[in-house]
Structure 1
């Protein structure tokens, strides 16, 4: 729904736009980026588990699961990969229930409120952490 759902909050950029942005920016950082989107919590947990031994880090926008999913938090903790949490909107300037993140305690850091640019910032942070910048 990205690009059509509440564009005043999330912007008009589409999921395909974000994926292309991440893949192209990743190349400039010597990172190979693969993208996954799911509305199903279990599919996200499976993807996080599958990342262990396959990927060096994760950039995650867990959407509303950020505020509800202990299972995602546990999955992240179990794979021992650096995770950067991303939100298009500034979750701390929104409703009080959005201020609590179950992801933050197990994440390298959190980027919120910069729209699609947040993914670029997250990849930069991950590249710095991994030491992959050329």
Structure 2
């Protein structure tokens, strides 16, 4: 069976159209599949999740990730009085101010590695009763 030049051109055009459609589908799947938040990124990368769990376990704190916020949660076993909390806040706030560049650098590094903008590092100190002693964001 012989194929005419016009049939050949038609088949080439259909093949090119099919290839173009395949490329567009792959591009669409790639853009849809890429995580838009840090929470999605961690959920899609088990190694990253294991690393975070390991850091949390070895440091005695919790690490929580919600949307684009990574929160370090330091929980005290003791419930301190309001007077003690006021005193602690001043010390903690000053210490966090001295560490601000470290937390900001971590946020920048996470943005660079994940390709996700707007990552916030939050530090939360909780009293023994679960109430917040101090909460501070670093962007």
Which TM class, normalised by the smaller chain length?
under 0.3
Q: Which has the larger radius of gyration?
A: 2
**Normalized against structure 2, the TM-score is what?**
0.24
Identify which of structures 1 and 2 has the higher relative contact order when contacts are C-alpha pairs closer than 8 Å and 6+ apart.
1
Write 1 or 2 for the structure with the bigger share of helix: 2
TM-score by length of 1: 0.25
